[in-house]
Copies of this chain bind each other. A is one copy, B any other.
Amino acid sequence: MNAPLSAPLLPDVQPRPLPADALAALQARFQARCSTALAVREQHGRDESAYTHIPPPAAVVFAESTADVADALRIAAQWRVPVIPFGVGSSLEGHLLAVQGGISLDVSRMNQVLAVRPEDLTATVQPGVTRKQLNEAIKHLGLFFPIDPGADASIGGMAATRASGTNAVRYGTMRENVLALEVVTANGEVVRTGTHARKSSAGYDLTRLFVGSEGTLGVMTEITVRLYPLPEAISAAICSFPSVEAAVRTTIAIIQMGIPIARCELLDARTVRAVNAHSKLGLREEPMLLMEFHGSPSGVQEQAEMVQAIADEHGGQAFEWATTPEERTRLWTARHNAYFAGVQSRPGCRAITTDACVPISRLADNVLAAVAEADAAGIPYFMVGHVGDGNFHMGYLIDPDDMAERAAAERLNQALVERALASGGTCTGEHGVGLHKMDFLRAEAGDGALALMRAIKAALDPHDILNPGKIVAR
């Protein structure tokens, strides 16, 4: 660790004034699709992070095509106006907040599935297509797109944050599943990265440089992703455990044995309680693993039997099968709603969500220490984890106006991240850095790697107009 950790309670807010000429140029080009209405700006000036009271962008431009994005960026470049790409607004880390003013570039109307190539198992979409929309569009072909953050996020936002979700343990993250991009650069030029081939050694991996760059290096306008055949057989199971530790140790054994489990999610007892209240499920209010197996009927059967045996060794109880698609959907919908169920369990709260991801051998001690510290601090929380990946989330439920509570939650977050980094892990497995994790990134990457990131940012965005003040800005 190269720098002391100090997660910011409040970000640096230094809005640049929007030049009147810039606004006039945007209005001339976009007419009614350039809005300065307060309600529109405010809707684009918040996300699912715990930050409040940050001024909204000066204007919102609704792009409907790559040409729109290119023109917006050319105008922005001319007057040095910050541009923040906006999909559905489900960011958790303040990515979308206009800390340096400028415009929000809303791409949600760019929501066409441009091509589906079932024979190649790929699709090309515009950035505003959401993951559920894509899955609806390909279901009849017997295909699916596995990346599933809790929210029905846009594919553009998911690529920008290198998102993952519950299927990543088997299918990888956006890092592994984006093949090619069309991107508009800081000077308004349209470039293409990658190809539709499965693999390539052709030059620098620009695709993976843009994936996870959170709108700070370019604006994605087309995204080509990998698809997968719907498994012949799918089987879900839940299993309760006497402790979080027993559930985590079961997971570790599953991964180390190389069982190709498709999903392996942990919910602690508090979270099961919140999910029960939110989704009327009647689950045992104990630590629980929610698992899924994909394959042939006999392969799924075999995997599940191996996992059940491992769970038994760790005191797993009430191993239950979700035998019908409806039952499976009900369980996974509940899991995807865990975040909202957690937040709703304390009216008026916001969640400060941690996102550490550690090597699997360190998962148990990291999770247990985080839970113990949160219990000791007396802050309400929920805890879920994509534990097959070593990724877990504590959601500290705070009153956003209570600075003492916020500070206490940030101290918990900081201790959790310090432990994750000391374990060889990362401060963020899937949510991204945004505003909230900039100090954590500096500690994780070290000054040397951060200097390289800044050199790349300066090379690709010399006037610092692309989502400025984020990721590498501290």
Q: CA of A471 to CA of B296 in the docked complex: distance in angstroms?
A: 44
Q: CA of A118 to CA of B119 in the docked complex: distance in angstroms?
A: 37
A357 within 8 A of B: yes
Interface size, chain A (Cβ < 8 Å): 94
By a CB distance below 8 angstroms, the chain B residues around A201 are 161-163, 212, 355, 426, 428-433
- Quick check: A205 and B162 within 8 Å, CB to CB? yes
Residues of A358-401 whose CB lies within 8 A of B: 358-361, 389-391
A193 within 8 A of B: yes
Knowing A191-B452, A229-B257, A448-B191, say if A209 contacts B205 (CB, 8 Å).
yes
Task: Kindly supply a per-residue 1/0 record for chain A positions 424-448, scoring 1 wherever the CB is within 8 Å of any chain B CB and 0 otherwise.
Answer: 1111111111000100110011101
> Which of B173, B229, B257, B295 is within 8 Å of A199, CB to CB?
B173
Interface positions of A (Cβ within 8 A of B)? 117-122, 161-164, 168, 172-173, 175-176, 185, 189-193, 195-206, 208-209, 211-213, 217, 228-229, 231, 252, 255-258, 260, 295-296, 298-299, 302, 355, 357-361, 389-391, 420-421, 424-433, 437, 440-441, 444-446, 448-453, 455-460, 471-472
By a CB distance below 8 angstroms, the chain B residues around A164 are 199
Q: Which residue of B lies closest to A180 (CB)?
A: B424
Interchain Cβ contacts under 8 Å between A and B, 7 examples: A120-B361, A168-B198, A175-B205, A199-B430, A203-B450, A204-B212, A208-B209
Q: CA of A369 to CA of B196 in the docked complex: distance in angstroms?
A: 20
By a CB distance below 8 angstroms, the chain B residues around A302 are 296, 298-299
Chain B: minimal CB distance from A370 (Å): 15
Q: CA of A453 to CA of B360 in the docked complex: distance in angstroms?
A: 35
Chain B: minimal CB distance from A239 (Å): 21
